[in-house]
Structure 1
Amino acid sequence: MTGWYNELSKVLETRRVDVCAVQETRWSGSKSHDIVCGYKLMYKGTRGTDSGVGIIVLSKFDGNISEVQRYDGHLMKIVYITDGREIHFFSAYAPQTGQATSIKDAFWGMLDVKTVEVPPEDYIIIAGNLNGHVACRKEEHTTHGGHGFGEKNDDGQGILDFSEAHKLAIANAWFFAYYSGTNAKQID
């Protein structure tokens, strides 16, 4: 394993991040790899696309992962057990704003089904690029934490509606930009 995953794992180590969702991996297959700094990358991707999702976990927590479910190049999850509770950690990459409505509906339908399958006593974390603007202001939405970017668009409204339907809170809407030499990568 080379490239920006190794550099990303060094940043994760410096910032003391135990679990990280990544999108646009551009790798095909359903695999797991050990990467530097004691991290493990689990991913799912489809050949010939820019999609692909992954979850990077600090290897010392491998024993806490009870399952890895890879649905497609836009959605996967791990189930992490801590203190007797299960945390369902999703890595999601929603279709971009210009994509056909049918493609977006298929993604949101799958995320809806997989979220509903989570037992009510368990925790859900959905991390990733949901490709929408939820805006800076809360307005009437109870799930909006009051922190966002720009003006709300239709895809952002969909994110808010999904969050309210599943009683999820939008904890953060920020981006992490990664730079290495002349290369730049935005990490959501």
Structure 2
Amino acid sequence: MESRKLEYRYTYRQISRDNRSDGEKKSEHHASSRDEVDRPKEQKVGLNKTGHKLWYVGKYQNRNGVGIVFHESIVDDVVEVQRYEDRVIRIKVVMGKDVLHVNSAYAPQVDLAHNVKQEFWDRMDDIMQTIPIMEKVIIEGDLNRHVGMSRDGYEEAHGGYGYGSRNREGESILDYAWAYDMVQPNACFQK
């Protein structure tokens, strides 16, 4: 089975490049994910003054909703946009020989009913099942989980950094990452 871990790291370098000027390292972002986006669904959004485009999904203004922002240098590479309810959006980008799926997700909060959280993760599972293994995947957003500091049992999905203790929802995201051979990147870097 091919590994998505290496593909994820490769993909991140492809969509974010470093520019150096005046001896200082600056980062030019070409893609970004946003959760809890405050924009009505009906409003069409094109390139803004800085050359970025927002794709958005959400049912209610000021509640839920997610979006993905791409720099104009990537906009023409977008071949598909899929919106799922008001919590998930997936954009498929073809960059040369590589196919990249950028997913922005806003998971239900911890205090919501179990069936609401389960429906969200079932939807995420359905989305992953439609993506061929050789295509790269990035999942960004607010998954409302705490994966904690410990890697115990999740050495393949957890980088060994984090804070606090893992909650039940944090365990579910690590199970999800492990099932799809992915890495929880926030746990890979010391803060």
Aligned partners of 1:28 and 1:52 also within 8 Å: no
SS of match in other structure, 2:175: helix
SS of match in other structure, 1:22: strand
SS of match in other structure, 2:76: helix
2:67 matched to which residue of 1?
54
Alignment coverage as a number of residue pairs = 162
Larger strand proportion, structure 1 or 2? 1
Aligned partners of 1:138 and 1:145 also within 8 Å: yes
1:152 matched to which residue of 2?
166
Q: Deviations over 1:114-141 (max 9, x none)?
A: 0111001101110111000001221120
Greater relative contact order (Cα < 8 A, sep 6+) = 2
- Where structure 2 has 5 or more consecutive residues not aligned to the other structure, the ranges are 1-18, 20-25
2:28 matched to which residue of 1?
16
2:6 matched to which residue of 1?
none
With normalisation by structure 1, the TM-score equals: 0.80
Distance 1:47 1:173 in 2: 32
Structure 2 CA distance for partners of 1:60 and 1:48, relative to 1, 3 Å: closer
Aligned-residue offset at 1:47? 1.9
Q: Which moved more, 1:63-72 or 1:28-37?
A: 28-37
Q: Which moved more, 1:15-24 or 1:136-145?
A: 136-145
Aligned partners of 1:28 and 1:47 also within 8 Å: yes
Distance 2:110 2:147 in 1: 13
Instruction: State the 4+ residue runs in structure 1 displaced beyond 4 angstroms.
Output: none
Distance 2:62 2:119 in 1: 17
Aligned partners of 2:33 and 2:141 also within 8 Å: yes
Distance 1:36 1:111 in 2: 33
Structure 2 CA distance for partners of 1:44 and 1:138, relative to 1, 3 Å: same
- Where structure 1 has 5 or more consecutive residues not aligned to the other structure, the ranges are 1-12, 175-188
Distance 1:173 1:25 in 2: 25
SS of match in other structure, 1:35: coil
With normalisation by structure 2, the TM-score equals: 0.79
Q: Deviations over 1:78-118 (max 9, x none)?
A: 11111311111100100011111111011100000001110
Identity of aligned residues (%): 31
Q: Which moved more, 1:53-62 or 1:32-41?
A: 32-41
Distance 1:105 1:91 in 2: 18
Structure 2 CA distance for partners of 1:101 and 1:58, relative to 1, 3 Å: same
**One-letter code aligned to 1:15:** S
